[in-house]
Structure 1
């Protein structure tokens, strides 16, 4: 497995991984309406390309297969963190988190935080994050519950 920065032309594949994973993995904890707001079925190429140019996510790959990706903001916020639904439980998330922690430490950060899905809570707790509080993100008039979680480096 290789973990590296995103390359030109990968935005669509990353979006597809996010969309499919949200709709297959998170359906146990979220309604169909919440999932559609969270990960719409329509790919908005200009939005995602410009976002990934700005955020420079890390991607985990094996050959040509995209296994997962993660974004780390300048303040230590993990905004997007996804492992392909067919590859969960194989250490990909752990490897991505180790790289995020190393990158955060090299920036002089002392803490990581995220607004995780209810579904992802066990993963983040296993990675040393602590639950702080439940929040609601509002998107297109739909409120989606998320969990604020923090971890010291």
Structure 2
């Protein structure tokens, strides 16, 4: 497995992994309407390309197959962090997180944080994050419950 920054032309694959993973692994914790606003069916390529130019996500690759991806904002916020729904539990997320933590350290960041989904809590706790609070985010008029999780180096 190789972890590197996104290459041109990979945006569609990343969006598809994001969309499919949200809809397949979050069914027990989120309603269909919550998943629909979290990961809508429509792919707005210019919006996603613009986002990824700004965030420069890391991708985990096996040959040409995308296994997962993660974003790290300049203030330590992890906005998107996803592993392919068929490949969870194989250490891909752990490898991405180790790389994010190293990147954060190189930027002088001592705190990482994210709004994690309910089903992602065990992963983030295993990576040393603690739950700070439960909250509801508004997405297209639909409230979605998330967990503010924090890691301090």
TM-score above 0.5, yes or no: yes
In the TM superposition, 1:59-70 aligns within 5 A as 59-70=59-70
The 4+ residue runs of structure 1 with deviation greater than 2 A are none
Q: Give the match for residue 144 of structure 1.
A: 144
Pairwise CA distance, 1:140 = 1.0
Which consecutive residues of structure 1, in runs of 5 or more, have no partner in the other structure? none
Cα deviation digits, residues 2-43 of structure 1 (max 9, x gap): 000000000000000000000000111000000000000111
**2:71 counterpart SS class:** strand
Pairwise CA distance, 1:149 = 0.4
How many residue pairs get aligned? The number is 153
Cα deviation digits, residues 64-89 of structure 1 (max 9, x gap): 11000000000000000000000000
Q: Matched residues in 1 for 2:139 and 2:65: separation?
A: 31
**2:26 counterpart SS class:** helix
- TM-score w.r.t. the length of structure 2 is 0.99
Pairwise CA distance, 1:134 = 0.7
Cα deviation digits, residues 43-79 of structure 1 (max 9, x gap): 1101101000100000000001100000000000000
Q: State the superposition RMSD in angstroms.
A: 0.4
Q: Matched residues in 2 for 1:89 and 1:133: separation?
A: 25
Which consecutive residues of structure 2, in runs of 5 or more, have no partner in the other structure? none
Q: Give the match for residue 44 of structure 2.
A: 44
Q: Matched residues in 2 for 1:16 and 1:33: separation?
A: 18
Q: Matched residues in 2 for 1:125 and 1:83: separation?
A: 16
Q: Give the match for residue 109 of structure 1.
A: 109
Q: Give the match for residue 32 of structure 1.
A: 32
Q: Matched residues in 2 for 1:37 and 1:48: separation?
A: 16
**1:19 counterpart SS class:** helix
In the TM superposition, 1:73-152 aligns within 5 A as 73-152=73-152
Q: Matched residues in 2 for 1:31 and 1:48: separation?
A: 24
